[in-house]
Amino acid sequence: MTQPSYSRGRQDPPLLTQTLGQAFDACATRHADREALVVRHQGLRYSWRQLAEAVDTHARALMALGIETGERIGIWAPNCAEWCILQIASAKVGAVLVTINPAYRVSELDYVLRQSGCRWLVCADAFKTSDYHAMLIELIPSLATHAPGHWRSDTLPALRGVVSLAAQPPQGFVAWADLAGRAGEVQWPAYCARQAKLRCDQPVNIQYTSGTTGAPKGATLSHRNILNNGLMVGHSLGLTEHDRLVLPVPLYHCFGMVMGNLGCITHGSTLIYPSDAFDPELTLRCVAEERASVLYGVPTMFIALLDHPARAQLDLSTLRSGIMAGATCPIEVMRRVIDQLHMAEVQIAYGMTETSPVSLQTGADDELERRVTTVGRTQPHLETQLVDAHGAVVARNEIGELCTRGYSVMLGYWDNPQATAEAIDGEGWMHSGDLAVMDEEGYVRIVGRGKDMIIRGGENIYPRELEEFLHTHPAIAEAQVVGVPCERYGEQVVAWVRFRQGQALEADALRDWCKARIAHFKVPRHFRFVEQFPTTVTGKVQKFRMREISLKELESRAWCDPDRSGT
């Protein structure tokens, strides 16, 4: 047989055995007076010493709130300084941070708070169309009428309180600004004793993802998982304390909180948040004014940066490197990033939440062709293999499902042993649901997705979750969801809907109904109203046929242009 599609990463640098808090303290001591964190939209700048002070204060305040080792704290906010402080502070007291997409609506929030058993939630004030306080009061009406810590919710029995980042939150919420005042309730020895008991293989983070199938599951990641992934990603980029990294991606996902935050913490680099949510102009200005050397983004963000008129007027020549990841990285976009954003050393990373996330990455030494056409080779201390439908490893240059094994594989899905067993096989391989090819030298190309998932502008959408949601509409008898390619977002959502007898709705009305209830990125861009779906003889819906038909119909229109596409 020819060589199998199996590859093992290098063994250096060595894996860290520290907790996240220990690694952070070591960095803050080593680089105390250097700039650690810049949050442009809040006008905040912290040295490592100042960031460490803020972290320790808030960590003790969390203990004062009664948070015990292993308990869950949710964070539901767009990018901000408090997000970063909470990430480290919660890790230092042994809590598990549940990162919640800030675009979530009430039902999505309810699900993750309940499934993870969050004790406390930290929420933002309001953002875009989300009024976080109003949504929480809708979910927990008693919140507004009782003093903090003195209410109980029947639906969320584990929840003890909500901290708001607002300057003056409504009654019932604890103000973040008041937390610092509570730090004094916990003495240093008690705080140090708590930290001393923590171990690197304890859970530190839960991120909701749907893996290869539709129901959201909480990927549970340890200190060892994510700290080492931040280390390895940054090592591949050659990050040092002289680098200034601009991070426009959301913190609730591993791309932001691991590759960004922990990538900087493990290398002493300066972390810069250009805005609360992605904005191409603010990101470009931030790179120029902060003289950034490294920039991260999903492919659609880089496309928006390249196409923005402000780009040509700004001096972006300080950039040298960065990462494009999260979805297929088009070759032409990679070439333009190298030429027009001056990111000669840009790398592609591939991964998934369940593997902390990165398992493959291109390297600075790889030849240009490989850097723009592959997702690179296996990361240090990890193994990659491609298997067929029976689990046998395929030969090099043959298509197989990409599987990863090693330190980065999650502890499991929170409170869901069955789903964990389906995702991680008996030999410890995490199955990705992605189809890939490995060449003779171990470079991997992602060639498709075996799993039923749509990636729109870097956000994952699970057709089954969306179909189940659409079925809750009283007029809908059946709904099927597919993704179709789209220039602007990579992919877009198309929902085929069959109404109940005698019922009908306009697409706009249905879209408005969705908008009020689910995160905006999941709302179908196009609806197609049908009497029946294409099926096999056994009655199974043929999604590939739906995709073909949708695409053909949409191709003739100016589709994917939100202002011009009708249904």
Shorter beta-carbon distance to ligand AMP: residue 297 or 524: 297
Position 325 contacts ligand AMP (CB under 6 A): yes
Helix (H, G, I), strand (E, B) or coil at 121: strand
Position 209 contacts ligand AMP (CB under 6 A): yes
Cβ-based neighbour number of residue 138 at 10 Å: 14
DSSP helix, strand, coil percent of the chain (3-state; round to 5): 35, 25, 40
By the 8 A CB rule, do 382 and 402 touch? Answer: no
Which region, left, alpha or beta, applies to residue 539 given φ > 0 means left and ψ of -120 to 50 means alpha?
Answer: left
Considering only 281-289, 326-334, 499-507, 548-556, which stretch makes contact with ligand AMP by CB under 6 A?
326-334
Output the smallest distance, CB 151 to ligand AMP, in A: 34
Position 353 contacts ligand AMP (CB under 6 A): yes
Cβ-based neighbour number of residue 184 at 10 Å: 11
Considering only 91-99, 244-252, 261-269, 348-356, which stretch makes contact with ligand AMP by CB under 6 A?
348-356
Position 348 contacts ligand AMP (CB under 6 A): yes
- Retrieve residue 163's tokens: 């901290």
Shorter beta-carbon distance to ligand AMP: residue 137 or 329: 329
Restricting to residues 419-478, which ones interact with ligand AMP according to CB under 6 A? 432, 434, 446, 449, 455, 460
Shorter beta-carbon distance to ligand AMP: residue 24 or 83: 83
By the 8 A CB rule, do 444 and 459 touch? Answer: no
Q: Which residues pair with 162 in a beta bridge?
A: 121
Output the smallest distance, CB 565 to ligand AMP, in A: 25
Helix (H, G, I), strand (E, B) or coil at 522: helix
Question: How far is CA 552 from its chain centroid?
Answer: 32
Output the smallest distance, CB 78 to ligand AMP, in A: 18
Output the smallest distance, CB 42 to ligand AMP, in A: 26
| Cα angle for residues 66, 415, 460 (degrees, 5° grid) | 100
Considering only 132-140, 276-284, 346-354, 539-547, which stretch makes contact with ligand AMP by CB under 6 A?
346-354
- Tell me which of 268, 357, 457, 490 binds ligand AMP, using CB under 6 A: 357
**463 prior amide bond cis, ω within 30:** no
d(CA 353, CA 530): 36
Burial class (CB in 10 A: 0-12, 13-18, 19+), 356: buried
Position 159 contacts ligand AMP (CB under 6 A): no
Shorter beta-carbon distance to ligand AMP: residue 498 or 547: 547
d(CA 431, CA 416): 16
Shorter beta-carbon distance to ligand AMP: residue 170 or 433: 433
d(CA 269, CA 506): 52
Shorter beta-carbon distance to ligand AMP: residue 329 or 514: 329
- Retrieve residue 223's tokens: 């200190």
- Tell me which of 191, 208, 350, 469 binds ligand AMP, using CB under 6 A: 350
Considering only 67-75, 224-232, 343-351, 477-485, which stretch makes contact with ligand AMP by CB under 6 A?
343-351
- Retrieve residue 111's tokens: 């699900």
Position 329 contacts ligand AMP (CB under 6 A): yes
- Tell me which of 163, 206, 375, 560 binds ligand AMP, using CB under 6 A: 375
Shorter beta-carbon distance to ligand AMP: residue 81 or 325: 325
Output the smallest distance, CB 469 to ligand AMP, in A: 19
Cβ-based neighbour number of residue 418 at 10 Å: 8
- Tell me which of 85, 137, 303, 352 binds ligand AMP, using CB under 6 A: 352
Distances (CA, A) of 219 to 225, 353, 416: 11, 7, 10
Output the smallest distance, CB 451 to ligand AMP, in A: 7
Helix (H, G, I), strand (E, B) or coil at 82: helix
Shorter beta-carbon distance to ligand AMP: residue 203 or 256: 256
Size of the site for ligand AMP (CB under 6 A): 19
Q: Please count the helices (runs of H) and the strands (runs of E) in the chain.
A: 18, 29
d(CA 43, CA 478): 49
Report, in angstroms and rounded to the nearest whole number, the Rg of the chain calculated over CA atoms: 23
Shorter beta-carbon distance to ligand AMP: residue 36 or 375: 375
Position 271 contacts ligand AMP (CB under 6 A): no
Which residues are CB-neighbours of 172 under 8 A, at least 6 positions away? 137, 143, 144, 145, 146, 147, 148, 151, 162
Shorter beta-carbon distance to ligand AMP: residue 284 or 461: 461
- Tell me which of 203, 326, 400, 483 binds ligand AMP, using CB under 6 A: 326
Find, among 300, 250, 240, 309, the residue nearest to 274 by Cα: 250
Considering only 11-19, 242-250, 323-331, 416-424, which stretch makes contact with ligand AMP by CB under 6 A?
323-331
Shorter beta-carbon distance to ligand AMP: residue 52 or 298: 298
Helix 188-196, helix 48-64: angle, nearest 10: 90
Output the smallest distance, CB 358 to ligand AMP, in A: 8
Considering only 4-12, 221-229, 350-358, 543-551, which stretch makes contact with ligand AMP by CB under 6 A?
350-358
Give the residues lining the site for ligand AMP (CB under 6 A): 209, 325-329, 348, 350-353, 357, 375, 432, 434, 446, 449, 455, 460
